[in-house]
A and B are shown apart, each in its own frame.
Chain A
């Protein structure tokens, strides 16, 4: 007779049986059950039940306490053994801990970076309902710039659009200067290019924190201006900027109505924000980014469907049929336009590094398993179950990973400033006060510990006690195919990383050294202003009076990064269905000459020829695009101005080398001169300071009410590829660390094999083997592994790099020599530790080695 099944008492009994460790209190629970049944018979079930619960409550704490005591006794033993092992194998333990610590530090640093990348634009309250309007071209290219009329039209038509704003990038179109005369001294003035005009609902959509002013009233007046705290300091120092006047281009007085702070993890970095005039509501031509706020209850898929054909419906242009309007979630904008690749690459590297460190642990632990087989055997004889042994070894690896975490936290602290300076970010790492961080680190320790320890625990616990205890001298050196796989795997990763680093650097130097097709040396750039623009001719003449000034021209942007596209081009014989997609330069006389561009057909613009202001130059690509064999003299219409093509310019790189050279039109029509933003002055290499002084004096004489700034164009070229350079550096740093960690592992394995074969080598030497022979013998195995690794790594590396290079329109070829180089380097890296141990063992006195044990 037992307790009724599935009564609470039945379960309580079950529970007690599991809590009270089985053998210990078995009889006590037996007593409980026996007495309970007896009482139930003699004194009634109710009383027995009451008694039973009272007993359970009273005895439970005792059971738990005793159970814990017994369990910790074993755990204490595990700890003791683990620490003894660390102390006994100092080198191996050090390799493991250093490897894991460096690996974890890299992992944490990269996660911090990735977390920051992923945090972009997430601080907006409306982030889930904010979208960017995009246009998908027929070739699947996503264009972030949409016509001005689109957003207001959609908002009128569909109630799902709660708010919308366009961002008119004024600073990119005109030369802009702000002046503040509020201080006591001379006016503070600077040229600015981050000036944006937005719709009034801008601050209802985005939640940029206001330091002064408020989101409701900030953009109410047409002459209001919201600035960032940085700009407030730049123009007003410590004074309160609210209500102060900033004059735009000496003409428009704008009143500061708000100061905001734009967090670094916002892809919108707007220094000046002013209200957008209404006049652009019908402009289907000009394009800039537009953002919309959808109703929280609206179905995004439905809205997308509804707006897809909006352009073909409203746009007056016939080609609009091929364009699809789409919505891109606001939080994805930053990643989707350029950053996603980097996030993926760095996540991969982080994973690889951690994997390599874990493999080190696995290999060393299994390699040393022979040394611990006797411990395992004895434990088994004493009644340890396999599961308990697995627990023990897993516990050891987790302990190891916890120790490593401690060191890695110090490394992270040291490495963070370095990473910050390389990424120009302000990443922080605070342990305290962040539960998520604790959880993350705890999970990291656990995952690393389990990943590294699972296989060794499995192998070590599998030892048969009879075998291991039978003979202490005879332990078979089991050929572990797993170890071969992991070591080869490590080398594959290392070779891959070395090869990739080499290719990345080759591409970067290729980009920097590739002839752009134009000469930017000794060209300085001076921002233009309305006065200079008004007297461009006389200003230019004045400059040219200096013999050291070789040429003067003007343009809308630097010639190597001139990303202005238009569809407003017509020519004879153009397919009426074609929507032209061409780049253009609004330029001035001598544009071609100043930058040393080559005219391959026809001629450049001539001052003497009055008609040239209506004529055009095109580049080779444009001639091809328009299908003109001999374009000279052909009619061309650009933004409604008719003229003829007078020359063809040799292709040059007008945007970064990521992108292809596009058809390009050059116009010097004065109608568009207000788009000119810079004067470009080519100077002689001699007497530069004097020439610069002359330019400054001339410019300030002409336009005393404007600031004077200048910069060399070469610097601009460098800046264009700076981001890539920095990423290249970070990439190589992490690649180096990964190689370092796998090197540590090889060092450990090499020393282990050498140690294990000490006796064999002693005997070989006694029998007359030479040192070189023994070194060969010891390094043969590793060489084989590396060879296999190379064979695996090369095709993978080739494929991956091929894909990456596809990002660049202009790229270096994949030189097979680079892979050979990576292979040789990996060989050299492995040869160092392996050779060190091989030589050390080989030259050792055989007497010592034979006496070993």
Chain B
């Protein structure tokens, strides 16, 4: 199985964290805050669409909201395989970091 990309991982974690309030605007805000980089709406949906296609998240369409020009929100929720994929990358990461000094050490040695 292919592993999650970093962006996908980030997105999934945001959705997890936002729990019941995970939709385009909040997810984007969360990722922007987290990375400190500019995320366009399109970029966010690009990843979200991919996750949906892979079946890692499920979507629920909410009621139309007036503040959104009469558009509804699409809420995201992590599926079982989504959690599984998250766990996988996490354990992979941990395994890969075993026996290595932490990132702080590396920083010291180069400076």
The answer to whether B65 touches A30, judged by C-beta atoms less than 8 angstroms apart, is yes
Task: List residues 62-102 of chain B with CB under 8 A from any CB of chain A.
Answer: 65-69, 71-74
Of A51-59, A117-125, A499-507, A546-554, the one with at least 4 CB within 8 A of chain B:
A51-59
Which residues from chain B contact A29 at a C-beta distance below 8 Å? 69, 71
Interface membership of A1, Cβ < 8 A: yes
How far apart are B39's CB and chain A's nearest CB, in angstroms?
10
**Whole-angstrom CA separation of A27 from B61 in the bound complex:** 9
**Whole-angstrom CA separation of A21 from B46 in the bound complex:** 16
The answer to whether A3 touches B42, judged by C-beta atoms less than 8 angstroms apart, is no
Given A27-B24, A27-B73, A28-B24, A34-B42 contact (CB < 8 Å): no
Which residues from chain A contact B46 at a C-beta distance below 8 Å? 62
Q: Looking across the interface, which residue of chain A has its beta carbon closest to that of B48?
A: A28
**Whole-angstrom CA separation of A54 from B39 in the bound complex:** 11
Q: Looking across the interface, which residue of chain A has its beta carbon closest to that of B26?
A: A31
Interface membership of A173, Cβ < 8 A: no
Which residues from chain B contact A2 at a C-beta distance below 8 Å? 66-67, 69
The answer to whether A58 touches B73, judged by C-beta atoms less than 8 angstroms apart, is no
**Whole-angstrom CA separation of A390 from B101 in the bound complex:** 69
Interface membership of A328, Cβ < 8 A: no
Task: List residues 48-92 of chain A with CB under 8 A from any CB of chain B.
Answer: 54-55, 58-59, 62
Q: Looking across the interface, which residue of chain A has its beta carbon closest to that of B68?
A: A30
Residue from A3, A13, A26, A55 in contact with B41 in the complex, judged by beta carbons closer than 8 Å = A55
Interface membership of B40, Cβ < 8 A: yes
Residue from A3, A26, A27, A59 in contact with B40 in the complex, judged by beta carbons closer than 8 Å = A59
Which residues from chain B contact A58 at a C-beta distance below 8 Å? 40-43
Greatest chain A CB density within 10 A among B42, B46, B69 is at: B69
**Whole-angstrom CA separation of A55 from B43 in the bound complex:** 10
How far apart are A144's CB and chain B's nearest CB, in angstroms?
73
Interface membership of A755, Cβ < 8 A: no
B interface size (C-beta, 8 A): 20
Interface membership of A35, Cβ < 8 A: yes
Which residues from chain A contact B41 at a C-beta distance below 8 Å? 28, 31-32, 35, 55, 58-59
Residue from A26, A31, A54 in contact with B25 in the complex, judged by beta carbons closer than 8 Å = A31
The answer to whether A26 touches B28, judged by C-beta atoms less than 8 angstroms apart, is no
Q: Looking across the interface, which residue of chain B has its beta carbon closest to that of A66?
A: B49
Interface membership of B3, Cβ < 8 A: no
Interface membership of A409, Cβ < 8 A: no
How far apart are B102's CB and chain A's nearest CB, in angstroms?
37
Interface residues of B: mostly helix, strand, loop or mixed?
A: helix
Given A31-B25, A58-B40, A26-B71 contact (CB < 8 Å): yes
**Whole-angstrom CA separation of A554 from B23 in the bound complex:** 108
Which residues from chain B contact A642 at a C-beta distance below 8 Å? none
The answer to whether A30 touches B40, judged by C-beta atoms less than 8 angstroms apart, is no
Which residues from chain B contact A30 at a C-beta distance below 8 Å? 24, 65, 68-69, 71-73
A interface size (C-beta, 8 A): 22
Q: Looking across the interface, which residue of chain B has its beta carbon closest to that of A27?
A: B74
**Whole-angstrom CA separation of A27 from B28 in the bound complex:** 13
Greatest chain B CB density within 10 A among A25, A26, A38, A54 is at: A26
A-B pair count, CB < 8 Å, reads 63
Which residues from chain B contact A31 at a C-beta distance below 8 Å? 23-25, 28, 41, 68
Interface residues of A: mostly helix, strand, loop or mixed?
A: helix
Interface membership of A192, Cβ < 8 A: no
**Whole-angstrom CA separation of A55 from B24 in the bound complex:** 14
Q: Looking across the interface, which residue of chain A has its beta carbon closest to that of B44?
A: A31
Interface membership of A33, Cβ < 8 A: yes
The answer to whether B67 touches A34, judged by C-beta atoms less than 8 angstroms apart, is yes
The answer to whether B40 touches A37, judged by C-beta atoms less than 8 angstroms apart, is no
Which residues from chain B contact A28 at a C-beta distance below 8 Å? 24, 41-42, 45
Given A31-B28, A35-B25, A55-B40, A3-B45 contact (CB < 8 Å): no
- 1/0 contact string of B27-47 vs chain A (CB within 8 Å): 010000000000011110110
How far apart are A628's CB and chain B's nearest CB, in angstroms?
99
Residue from A33, A54, A55, A62 in contact with B68 in the complex, judged by beta carbons closer than 8 Å = A33
Which residues from chain A contact B66 at a C-beta distance below 8 Å? 1-2
Which residues from chain A contact B74 at a C-beta distance below 8 Å? 27
Which residues from chain A contact B69 at a C-beta distance below 8 Å? 2-3, 13, 29-30, 33
Which residues from chain A contact B24 at a C-beta distance below 8 Å? 27-28, 30-31
**Whole-angstrom CA separation of A466 from B37 in the bound complex:** 55
The answer to whether A55 touches B42, judged by C-beta atoms less than 8 angstroms apart, is yes
Task: List residues 780-830 of chain A with CB under 8 A from any CB of chain B.
Answer: none
The answer to whether A37 touches B45, judged by C-beta atoms less than 8 angstroms apart, is no
Q: Looking across the interface, which residue of chain A has its beta carbon closest to that of B24?
A: A31
Task: List residues 377-434 of chain A with CB under 8 A from any CB of chain B.
Answer: none
How far apart are A77's CB and chain B's nearest CB, in angstroms?
21
**Whole-angstrom CA separation of A37 from B67 in the bound complex:** 8
**Whole-angstrom CA separation of A35 from B67 in the bound complex:** 10
The answer to whether A1 touches B67, judged by C-beta atoms less than 8 angstroms apart, is yes
**Whole-angstrom CA separation of A35 from B66 in the bound complex:** 13
How far apart are A131's CB and chain B's nearest CB, in angstroms?
66
**Whole-angstrom CA separation of A32 from B24 in the bound complex:** 9
Which residues from chain B contact A25 at a C-beta distance below 8 Å? 45
Which residues from chain B contact A35 at a C-beta distance below 8 Å? 25, 28, 41
Kindly list 4 other residue pairs between chains A and B, CB separation below 8 angstroms, not including A30-B72, A34-B65.
A28-B45, A30-B68, A31-B24, A35-B25
B residues within 8 Å of A by Cβ?
A: 23-25, 28, 40-43, 45-46, 61, 65-69, 71-74
A residues within 8 Å of B by Cβ?
A: 1-3, 13, 25-35, 37-38, 54-55, 58-59, 62
CB-defined A-B contacts under 8 Å, sample of 13: A3-B69, A26-B71, A28-B24, A28-B42, A30-B69, A30-B72, A32-B41, A33-B69, A34-B68, A35-B41, A37-B67, A55-B41, A59-B41
